[in-house]
Amino acid sequence: MRQWALRCLASVEGLPPERAALLLSVGLVLGVFPIVGLPTVLCLLAALGLRLNFAALQLLNNLSSPLQLALLLPLTRAGAWLCGDAVPDGGTAAGRFGAAAVHALAGWGCICVPSGILLYLVLIPIMRRRRPVWSNAIESPA
């Protein structure tokens, strides 16, 4: 496990702190996208558009999958609250599923996207301070 973690750190080592922070924040925000399966496509598009490491984004996407499932219901409820209506109890299953998906997307857009921007801004100074520690850990694996 330690070797795996060191390899991940080594792949990020060459990145400037701003790019590493962008990679982490984009990977986590897209990884918790509330529609299962779409984070992979979104990570591909983000990697192409922002010129980020696709493998690292996919790793973050896969690591955040449990968080994606854990946030599905809270994001749906937050989106329903933001939209001003509750998740419908009646109607067809497709209608209920569609409304829940719209609510989850609204909750994700209003909560996770601003949180990702804040995470990026917080991670930049942390990455700048932690960079020498990572270099020492990678150079001398024990």
Does residue 88 carry a pLDDT above 60? no
* DSSP label at residue 142: -
What tens digit of pLDDT does each residue of 89-132 get?
A: 667 877 778 888 899 999 999 999 999 999 999 999 998 887 65
Distance from C-alpha of 128 to C-alpha of 47, rounded to nearest angstrom:
22
Q: Which of 59-73, 81-95, 107-121 has the lowest mean pLDDT?
A: 81-95
Top pLDDT among 142 and 20 is at: 20
Q: What pLDDT shows up at residue 127?
A: 86
Q: What pLDDT shows up at residue 34?
A: 93
Q: What pLDDT shows up at residue 73?
A: 92
Q: Which two tokens stand for residue 5?
A: 């973690």
30 neighbors 46 (Cβ within 8 angstroms): yes
pLDDT band at 1 (very low <50, low <70, confident <90, very high): low
Top pLDDT among 66 and 84 is at: 66
Does residue 133 carry a pLDDT above 60? no
| CB-neighbour burial class of residue 9 (10 A; exposed 0-12, middle 13-18, buried 19+) | middle
| DSSP one-letter string for 3-26 | HHHHHHHHHHHTS-HHHHHHHHHH
Select from 66, 138, 79, 87 the least CA-distant residue to 113.
Answer: 79
